Amino acid sequence: MVRLHVKKGDESQFLYDTSVDANVDDVINDIVVIYNGRLKVSRICYEIEELAKHGTMLPQDMMGLTDDQVQELKLRDEWGEKCSPMGGWTFNKDAVGRRNGRQPSERMQEVLKKTIEEARAMTSKKLVQQDKLVSQKTVQTALDNLRGAVTIVYPMGLPPHDVIRQEFENNEDLSGTQASLEVMEVNVAQLWFSGKEMLRGKKLKDFLGKNEKTKVIVKLAKRGSGRPAREPVMSEDERKLLMLHAYKRQEQFKKLEQDDDDEYLNSTWADGSSLKRHFQGLNNISWKPH
């Protein structure tokens, strides 16, 4: 299997195993699904953190309104009353006015927080350093675990307007958000290797050669964004090691310049009487008071 270290820009994303006989189209499709899936996990984790703090989302017509405005307009969060968390709730007002403030119990909060940590760990960019793969199955498992945790805490489900439920049902609307700029469309996605685009319709071996036991860096980009920057000659760790080596050499030269030219005269080997004292047994004598 050939291992692809997938990057976007200069940032590592994940490791992906495939074969040099694989079609470039299939590899791009698979990588884009994993990439977008990791973004979805990240978005859901953030929203579940808010769910654990401030409860379910308010209806669109109540978002951002003050309590007085809600009373004046005679608005009511009916879905919030139906979708109560298991084990009760305490009020924790949402400062930005997105959620109803019905915070789940501490025990239920822990269920959500623990699952968030596990999901993030399963799809973390740090897995690249640990030489661990991320696949579509990995992403799906993380999503299933998050869905299960939310179901445990909210057995009645979440309101249909809650973004967490919309994400799970793939009905999320990201238009006008930063997240929409991050999501990659399969039909405009490109893979680049060594400064060259890996063209659709070809196989990986047309660009990587026939050696399956290969690990290469490929860069994911959108069509029209231009050629990604080439990888530096040396990695950041190699650069730091080189700088450390240069610094140590510089310090050694400074020390040599500061040393006196006749400092060697203090050395044992430069003492003319040392041989005589050796035969007389006078070396290594220590004097102690009686």
The pLDDT, as a whole number, for residue 125 is: 95
In a domain, 285, yes or no: no
- The whole-angstrom separation of Cα 208 and Cα 229 is 19
- The whole-angstrom separation of Cα 38 and Cα 176 is 20
The pLDDT, as a whole number, for residue 225 is: 77
122 and 253 in a single domain? The answer is: no
- The whole-angstrom separation of Cα 221 and Cα 218 is 10
Residue type, 284: N
- The whole-angstrom separation of Cα 264 and Cα 166 is 79
The residues, ordered by sequence, that sit 6+ positions from 40 with a Cβ below 8 Å of its Cβ are 139, 143, 167
Inter-CA distances, 148 with 38, 115, 152, 161, Å: 18, 9, 6, 19
- The whole-angstrom separation of Cα 117 and Cα 48 is 11
Q: Is 69 helix (H, G, I), strand (E, B) or coil?
A: helix
Whether residue 46 contacts residue 40, with contact meaning beta carbons closer than 8 Å, is answered with: no
In a domain, 69, yes or no: yes
pLDDT digits (tens, 9 = 90+) for 41-62: 999 999 999 999 999 999 999 9
In a domain, 256, yes or no: yes
192 and 258 in a single domain? The answer is: no
The pLDDT, as a whole number, for residue 243 is: 81
8 and 141 in a single domain? The answer is: yes
159 and 260 in a single domain? The answer is: no
pLDDT tens-place values along the chain, 290 residues long: 899 999 998 899 999 999 999 999 999 999 999 999 999 999 999 999 999 999 999 999 998 888 889 888 989 889 988 999 999 999 999 999 999 999 999 999 999 999 999 999 999 999 999 999 999 999 999 999 999 999 999 999 999 999 999 999 999 999 888 889 999 999 999 999 998 999 999 999 999 999 999 999 999 999 887 777 666 655 567 678 878 878 888 887 777 776 655 555 566 655 666 666 666 666 665 555 65
216 and 240 in a single domain? The answer is: no
Phi-psi bin for 173: left (phi > 0), alpha (psi -120 to 50), beta?
beta
Over the range 78-109, which residues count as b (16 or more CB within 10 Å of their CB) and which as e?
Answer: ebbeebbbbeebeeeebeebbbbbbbbeeebb
In a domain, 289, yes or no: no
Whether residue 52 contacts residue 103, with contact meaning beta carbons closer than 8 Å, is answered with: yes
The residues, ordered by sequence, that sit 6+ positions from 276 with a Cβ below 8 Å of its Cβ are none
In a domain, 73, yes or no: yes
The residues, ordered by sequence, that sit 6+ positions from 199 with a Cβ below 8 Å of its Cβ are 24
- Tokens standing for residue 62: 């109540």
- The whole-angstrom separation of Cα 14 and Cα 35 is 8
What value, to the nearest 5°, has the Cα angle with vertex 6 and ends 5 and 10? 105
When divided into structural domains, the chain yields a total of 2
- Tokens standing for residue 23: 């079609």
- Is 0.85 surpassed by the pTM of this model? no
Phi, psi at residue 221, to the nearest 5°? -150, 165
- Tokens standing for residue 227: 């050629």
The domain in which residue 32 lies consists of 2-222
In a domain, 106, yes or no: yes
Whether residue 65 contacts residue 40, with contact meaning beta carbons closer than 8 Å, is answered with: no
In a domain, 229, yes or no: no
